[in-house]
Amino acid sequence: KNAALFHKLNIDTIGDLLFHFPREYQKFPAAGTIADAAKSDGKAAIYAKVQEQPNIQRVRGMSLLKFRIIDRAGQCAVVTFFNMPYLKNSIKTDRTYVFYGSLHRKNSTDFLSHPKMYSCEEYGQLEGYLAPVYTRTKGLTDQAFYKHCMNALQSVDEIEEYLPEEILKENDFLSVREALFCLHAPSDMEEALRARKRFAYEEFFLFFLATKSGRNRMTKV
C-alpha cells in the first residue's frame, strides 16, 4: 500500500525517498493562552482544559463535533471537528491538552477548527522541534515520510558520494549521509540550510561535469 502511494510521487527506490527533500519545516511554538494565540499570524499552541463533554451535530449532511475549552487565564474557545465523530470517545472532560492550530473569531467567540491535539507530555517533547513538511499525496503523512526516511538512513550501509574529498574539505561541506540526516531531521534551520547548500553545489558540480563531457565528445567527433 505504501509503495503504491510513494509511486504516485515517483518514489520507487530508497534513493528516490532520501532525495525527496522537505519543502519547508514546521516549528512547534511554546504553548500559551488563547489570548497569546489571538496575537499570532499563523498557527499557535494553546494549553487548555476540556470544559464540557463533546457533542455531535448534523450540519449540511456532515457531522460536527464541538466542545468548549478553557485556558489558565479563564478564557474560553470552541473546538470543532467535521466528520470525525469517533473522536468523541477519546476526548476526556476536565483533562488538559495542548491544541495546535489556527484561532479565528466569529460573533465574539474564538474557534479552533481541526486542531491537532497533544497530551502535555507529548507536546513538551515537540516544543521547539523542527518538523519536516514534504510534498506528498493523500494517504501519506509527514510523520510517515519522516519515519521511512529515518529507517532508510539507518539501514543503508553506503550512499554514493559524488563530491571529491578535496571539495568537501575546501568548502567545509557535510558528507552526503550527514547532509541527508540534516535535511530530514535538522536540529535547527542553520543545519538544514548548510545541508541544502551542499546539495545545491553538488547539482551544479554534476551539471558542469555533464556539460564538459558533452563538449569533449563533440570535439572528438
Q: Which helix (H) or strand (E) holds 195?
A: helix 189-220
Question: String of b and e for 158-180 (b: at least 16 CB within 10 Å)?
Answer: ebeeebeeeebeeeebbebeebb
Compute φ and ψ for 215, nearest 5 degrees: -65, -40
Mapping DSSP onto H, E and C, the string for 6-58 reads: HHCCCCCCHHHHHCCCCCEEEECCCCECHHHHHCCCCCEEEEEEECCCCEEEE
Angle at 198 between CA 174 and CA 194, to 5 degrees: 70
Q: What are the grid coordinates assigned to 61, written together? A: 449532511
The pLDDT value recorded for residue 198 is 96
Could you list the mean pLDDT of each consecutive 10-residue stretch along the chain, which spans 221 residues?
A: 92 95 92 93 92 91 94 96 92 95 92 94 89 92 92 91 94 96 94 96 91 62 46
The pLDDT value recorded for residue 56 is 94
pTM over 0.85: no
The pLDDT value recorded for residue 128 is 83
